[in-house]
Amino acid sequence: MTNERQAWRGLARVLASRRLEGPVAEGGDSGGRVYHHLTLLAPEVAAAAVPGQFVHVLCPPRGGAGGAPYAPASATPGLPFLRRPLSVHDADQARGTVGLLFWVKGPGTAGLAAARPGDRLDVVGPLGNGGFPLGLGPALVVGGGIGLAPLLFLARRLARRGRVTVLAGVAQAGDLALVEPFRRLKDLAGLIVTTEDGSPGTVPGTVVAALPESLDGLSPDGLSGAVYACGPGPMLRAVWDQVSARPGLTAWFSVEERLACGVGACRGCAIPVRTGPAGETASPPDPGRAPDYRLVCRDGPVFDGNLLDWEAL
């Protein structure tokens, strides 16, 4: 077979399943958001995965016990239907485990959150291109909210190679559990946490507001190094605006789009880019107007900021 990216498909045993709890400040709430972490035994995935890749998980039907917050009474039958793409939060090759961190947002993730140790989940992965390119220079990892999920694995790998600073932003105290794994990460040059509600011990505001200072500190001249970002679309755009104004910096973005097949077959997860891939350059009816697309599942989910068509995104 000439498939460049051999994905594994099989049943992965759930080793641990926990609702995320962290050092939630007194009275802190997460705006009703619930985050969940699963540890899967999937040695093939753990061995092959690189930061930025994802797994495509078949979600058990909703209605599991275990306090899934999705109300079955108001749920449509026949959902979840498709698999859910979840970024690799962490991978431990020695143990053969893969960590998944997700926001319990709908019927798919609610079913996953109801998984119990010993359950088996049908997983395809790792999927996606080669993930975040790991450089040797200074690196700044910027994440917002659940966009922090793929960045733990990245920060861990980067920290083995050089100087890494993490800039992590969440909306409110109740979301701080998303940041907790980064606090336990060894060898970080720095961890800056922002909260929009100004929770104690954090920088009030967003990562976007804190970014100039972090970029200044990235390298002596503030003009070299690599930025890695994942988060909501407006955050990524603001990061790109700042990074692209500093020549010499490279920036890599993990982006989201609705996925169906996950393997590049259905062409469902297109995002607009500035140039066409070789052999696939569009020859539109009105040249210069039809956009060119790449697939998040096959060509991403990590893209060079220079490639993305930020105006059309």
Partner 1 sequence: MNSGTLLPGPDLSVTVAGLRLRTPVMTASGAFGYGREYAGLLDLSGLGAIVVKGTSLEPWSGNPPPRTVETAAGLLNSIGLENPGVECFLENDLPWLSGLGVPIIVNVVGRTAAEYAALARRLDGAPGVSALEANISCPNVKEGGLAFGADPAVAGDLVTGMRRATRLPLIVKLTPNITDVAALARRVVEAGADAVSLINTLVGMAIDPEAGRPILARGTGGLSGPAVKPVALAMVYRVAAAVTVPVIGMGGIWTGRDAVEFLMAGASAVAVGTALFVDPEAPLRIAREIGDFMAGQGYGKVGEMVGLANTGFCGRRPESWADRPDQEGR
Binding site for partner 1 (CB under 8 A): 1-3, 6-7, 9, 58, 76-83, 124, 257-272, 276, 279-285, 290-293, 298, 312
The set of residues, in sequence order, having a beta carbon less than 8 Å from that of 311 and lying 6+ positions away, is: none
| b/e burial code for range 95-114 (CB count within 10 A of at least 16 → b) | ebbbbbbbbbbebbbbbbbb
DSSP three-state, residue 156: helix
Report the alpha-carbon distance of residue 233 to residue 142 in Å, rounded: 13
The minimum distance between CB 56 and partner 1, in angstroms, equals 9
The minimum distance between CB 10 and partner 1, in angstroms, equals 11
Nearest residue (CB) to partner 1, 74 versus 186: 74
- On whether the CB atoms of residues 49 and 99 are closer than 8 A, the answer is no
Neighbours of 238 (CB within 10 A): 19
The minimum distance between CB 248 and partner 1, in angstroms, equals 31
The minimum distance between CB 251 and partner 1, in angstroms, equals 21
Q: DSSP string of 69-103?
A: SS-GGGPPTT-S-S-EEEEEEEEETTTTEEEEEEE
Nearest residue (CB) to partner 1, 10 versus 198: 10
Nearest residue (CB) to partner 1, 106 versus 217: 106
59 DSSP 8-state letter = P
Nearest residue (CB) to partner 1, 99 versus 300: 300
Give strand pairing partners of 292: 273
The minimum distance between CB 236 and partner 1, in angstroms, equals 15
Burial of 19 (0-12, 13-18, 19+ CB in 10 A): middle
Nearest residue (CB) to partner 1, 10 versus 190: 10
The minimum distance between CB 234 and partner 1, in angstroms, equals 15
Instruction: Please name the residue that has the structure tokens 């980064």.
Output: 182
The minimum distance between CB 92 and partner 1, in angstroms, equals 24
Nearest residue (CB) to partner 1, 151 versus 259: 259
Report the alpha-carbon distance of residue 242 to residue 253 in Å, rounded: 14
Across the chain, which distance is largest between two alpha carbons, in Å?
59
Nearest residue (CB) to partner 1, 85 versus 131: 85
